Structure 1
Amino acid sequence: MGAPLRIGLTGGIGSGKSTVARMLAELGADVIDADAIARAVTASGGAAIEPIRAAFGPAFIDASGALDRARMRALAFSDPQAKARLEAIVHPLVRAEIDRRLAASAADTVVLDLPLLVESDAWRQRCDRVWVVDCEPETQITRVMARSGWPRAQVEAVLAQQASRAQRLAAADVVLANGAATDLDALRAQVLRAWAQRRMPLS
């Protein structure tokens, strides 16, 4: 078998990207979830914990030995330099694990679930296709508030730090619409159609 097809899957917070990733896994794709890897390296005993402790101090490590996500989130949103320091620790570890899993995968199709795909030229260049899960920003806000309990201002702050909807759409080879009126069956139908056509030449 030749090299697997690499699909870069992305979408803003609350877009439904994780739902699409689960559907693709059910279709046989090997899904590599960058967020899950980032959570693993910042969990208790994770490779990022001691570098984070050294860079930010013990207050940013919780009682279980994991990253204190709420404290770090508040700092990162208020201090771009702190955000950059954290990313300089976590991102190389995530990239290394993704590379390891890519090398080990025997699947025909590998889906790289990458929230920051559009923001990173390096990742875009490593994907054969870019699939974007799209919805209106107001729908994103409503979904995230409902599932997380965050206040609207906090969700809007996250959106402001992500690529814009227009930027994601401009980068897309495939757009999966998952707006407020889209139900799971309609989303699954789009995923099935895109999956069946995934190796067709790009127009």
Structure 2
Amino acid sequence: MSTQPPIWARPEPKGRGRQSPLSRAGIVRVAIEVADAEGLEAVSMRRLARELSAGAMSLYHYFENREELLELMIDTVAAEMVVPDLPGDWRPAVEAVARHSRAMFRAHTWVLPIFQDVPAVTPNLLRHIEQTARAVASLEGQPPELLSALAGAVDDFTIGFTLRELSGGERRQRSWDTPELRLLLESGEFPLVASFIAADSPMPAPDFELGLRWLLDGFQAQLA
């Protein structure tokens, strides 16, 4: 087990060779491009070395292992969740954080399973968490546990919605039009399902903004 500081706290190592084109940021950028296009499983030191026209062992001069590379990949994309100009009012602020988070998850789908667990804490991820806390903290006079619950609920909604949105919504939509379903509907046991299908809306397209509004409306109603 390494006793070194985390990768993001260590200085950039000097390149090997007088004109080495490699750098941590450059390696991370290519790793993110590969992950975005082919999934995280496609990211290996050997693959990155090929993309960078470098020797595989040369990458270990910049990262001790793949886990360190992944940590900087997460930190890099987490920066996209930080809202440049956070609104002062709690609701627009929370909405802005949620939208930026969703945009990042949609751009880098490989990171979603990592955020379902507990990712390593990195500077940009902590900046996102701090900004989320600042967004809900603008609700003055509310207990910290309530504000923490709101932040968690919005985060869970954003991750869960995006996962569902990206996990085959079109396939689910098409699955309603099957011989098996038509046979079941003919029994008359499922009149409400039949009415939804007759209205051509068995599974409405997911609506992030609507769901977020309902969530925040419900929270706001409890404050009244």
**How high is the TM-score relative to the length of structure 1?**
0.30
Larger radius of gyration: 2
**How high is the TM-score relative to the length of structure 2?**
0.28
Whichever structure has more helix as a proportion of its residues is 2
Whichever structure has more strand as a proportion of its residues is 1
